[in-house]
Structure formats: C-alpha cells, structure tokens
Structure 1
Amino acid sequence: MLNRKLSVEEDFRQISDELTKIFSPNFLNELARKDLFLQRSSRFKPKDFIALCGFFNHQSGKKSLTQLCSVLASERNISLSTEGLNQRFCEAGVNLLKDVLSALILKHFLSDPLPSLRHPKIGRIRILDSTSFELPTFYLEKYFGYHKSGVRIQLEYELLKWELLHLVVQDQLDSDHVFAEEIMSTIRKFDLIIRDLGYLSYETLKSISEAEAYYISRATPKILAYVKDGMENFVRLDIEKIMEEMEIGETREIEDIYAGKGKLKIPRLILCKLTDEQTEKRLKRRDKKERKNGVEFY
C-alpha cells in the first residue's frame, strides 16, 4: 500500500493521541501547572499545545494563528481566538516544551539504575555533549550562527540514575568549553565527568580535580605532555614518535604525566593508534564538520 501524506489535521490528531499514551494527562497537567502554563481550567489542554507547536513535522511554524485555531476547532472542538492562542506562546509555554522534551529524552533510557557501573568512589557519572544546526534566517535576531541563524544544544545527563542535568539552547557560535566553565559550580565530590574534546581546557580539568571529582576527556593530538625523571626534572614526551612506534590498534597507558604549559598533573594518558579505516572515517567527519562551519580547503 502506498504511503499517503497525512493532512495537518490528521497529523495533529495522531500526535496528540500519542502524547496521551506516553504521558498521562495528569502528568502533562502537573508539568503545565509547575511552569505556570496551566493556571485555570480550560478546554485547551497542555497536550494540545504541545502537539500543536512541538510535534507537527515543522508545520506549526508555517501555519498562521488563524489556521492553527481552525485545526483546534475542527479536531478538538476547541474555540480559541487568535489572540488567545498567541498568548500561549510565552515563557511559560517555552518552559513546558523544555520539560516535555526532557521527559521524552529520559523515556529512551533504561528505567532501572545500572548497579554494575556503581563504584564506592564514584557518586555520579555525568556525560555532556552538544549538537548544532542552522535555522531559517528569520531567527537571526534571536540565535546567531556561523553563516546565518543557528543554535547549539547542550545536554548533560547522569548515567546511573538517568537524570537530565542540563538542557540549554544557545547561539550556534557559543563555545563548548565556555559552557563547561559555566557549570563548574554544579560538580560534586566523586563525580565522574565524561566529555569530548570541544570541552577541554586545562583550567577546567584543574577545577574538577580541586573539587575532588574525576574526569575522562579526549586530548588534542598535539598535547604538550611531560614526565618527571629521577631528578624531578620535567622531560617532554614526543607523542608523535610514540604513536609511530605503536602497532595499528595498540593501546598504551602512560601514568603520572604533566600536561600543557602549566604542567597540570594528569593521572593517566591513554594512547590508541587507529586503524586506517578508523582514521579515514574521522578525517571525513572532520572535513564535513569544518565545511559546515565555513572552513575553506585549497
């Protein structure tokens, strides 16, 4: 049977009904009350607003208020003026959408903790990453991007209890390592911080150590690394030479190194020599990302 494109009304009806299957009406209403979106009884339910502006296959951003009100009238028998609907697009509405998104993300995770990952000296396992993409030009006054308008989404979750710690929408131009510095105050003793290379700065690693927490982070290939000799002198490691001596696929650990110009002590540096196939994939991924960000190749 051929696939038929759903009409706006059918799309809205299915998404609204699906939200009720995933979240109970009481759950959505409680979120809406917490965010001050729902302050009095109304036929226009939080699930209708969420389906209308968040899960409409981009149609809600193209439809006028009059058209959206028509959908509400025909599919939910809800009579709402264009001004009444316009007033729902406010800070409380934005907060409600954020909370629903957070809940949906957590729905994809396991419902039970992971006892096999627990360790007496690790309190939380925090994983932070970001993604960015461009937006239509009419968002330019709100979000700035590399070429026009764009956003960056920062998401951090805790692996043991499946808790969402941070979900922040920024300009696409905002830096990952700056965001890492901004959330330093949330790090607790015995936290294990797992981050990608974009968040790396020696100042941040030092702050994590001072907070008596742990970290796992990718390092730049041109890292300045030192070890101490028997006379307590710093001896620079030639990382490139070490990598040349390693076999394809080999992993090597170097303990008690000192990194960067400030010679920050790092308990362990792990080197892994990629296969040719892995190297090719990473180069293609890097080139694609740099072209997307406006880097020219000659």
Structure 2
Amino acid sequence: MKDTFTAGDLSLRDLGYFNFKDFEDMENKKSFYVSRLKPNIAVYIKNENVEYLKNGQPRKSTIYKRVFLKGVANKIQEGEIKEISDAFVGRTEKSKVRLVVCKLTKDQFEQRRKKSLKMLKRKVLKKVILQSV
C-alpha cells in the first residue's frame, strides 16, 4: 500500500474502511486522504485543562477530551457543515486529522435509512436461508 503513493496523491476511502497505519504512511509521503469515519471511531480534541501528576508529567487521561459527533451535529442546521481542524482519532494512538461534519437534510436521512433497512433485510434473509440449509 505505502509504495503506491507519492507526494501530492489523494486517496478516497468512501466507505470508512481504513487502517491508521496506511494514513500515517500517506502523511509521511506527503500525500492526502479523505475517508468517512466509522461510527465506532473515537474523536478527540486537545484538552485545555490538562491535569499534572506530582512529578510534573501530564495525566494521560486528561490530555485529550472526547468529542461526541452527535452533540456536534445537534448544534448545526440541516445541510450545514462544521469543521474541526485539530481533531484526533483513535482510542490508543491518536492520529491528527481535519474532521468535517455534515448534517444530513431530512430527505437525505430518510434515503439512507431506507437503504440501510433494505440492506439489513437482505442480510437477515441471507442468514435465514443459510441456517435452513
């Protein structure tokens, strides 16, 4: 993967399937990426109120503050876009990213909901067929 990118290249990962190591390799080669964020990915920002231990080291649990995207989306209007330029993703190793949050319109939301239900029905039907064989 890392041998296929050169400086200035752009990788599009529309479905949210990615590996943080791939992104790190792309950044090291000065190439760029755009990806959807999987729902289970934790998003953080730097905490302005870091707590310090007696030895002067920062308490690790206070370096970053978790951002809940549902809360961000609730504060913006339908169709509006909010950028978080200094976001970090990942639970253990934090990768710095520029995050763009887009709130769907009601029509867009309804279309995605219908598509998801259709896909879910297919998966359930396929599972039932496989179990009966």
Q: Tell me which interval the TM-score lies in, with the shorter structure as reference length.
A: 0.7 to 0.9
| 1:216, distance to aligned residue in structure 2 (A) | 0.9
- Aligned counterparts of 1:194 and 1:218: Cα–Cα separation in 2: 9
Calculate the TM-score normalised by the size of structure 2: 0.73
**Per the alignment, do residues 222 and 245 of structure 1 end up closer, same or farther by CA in structure 2, a change over 3 Å counting?**
farther
Shift of the 184–287 alpha-carbon distance from structure 1 to 2, 3 Å rule, reads farther
Alignment partner, residue 240 of structure 1: 70
Which runs of no fewer than 5 residues in structure 1 stay unpaired? 1-182
The match for 2:56 is: none
Q: Structure 2: where are the runs of 5+ without partners?
A: 51-62, 126-133
Q: Select which of 85, 88, 105 maps to 1:275.
A: 105
Q: Deviation digits for residues 98-141 of structure 1, max 9, x if unmatched?
A: xxxxxxxxxxxxxxxxxxxxxxxxxxxxxxxxxxxxxxxxxxxx
Matched positions, count: 113
Partners of 1:202 and 1:196 lie apart in 2 by 15
Distance in 2 of aligned mates of 1:209 and 1:195: 15
Contact 2:16 2:37 (C-alpha < 8 Å) held by counterparts: no
Alignment root-mean-square deviation, CA: 2.2
Runs of 4+ in 1 over 4 A off after TM superposition: none
CA contact (8 A) 2:16 2:38 kept: no
State the partner residue of 1:264.
95
With the length of structure 1 as denominator, give the TM-score of the two structures. 0.35
In structure 1, the residue matched to 2:119 is 289
* Distance across 2 between alignment mates of 1:195 and 1:210: 18
Structure 2: how far apart are the matches of 1:221 and 1:198? 9
| 1:174-194 Cα shifts (integer Å, max 9, x gaps) | xxxxxxxxx332111211111
Which structure is higher in helix share? 1
Indicate the structure whose relative CO is greater, using CA pairs within 8 Å and at least 6 residues apart.
2
Counterpart residue identity of residue 263, structure 1: K
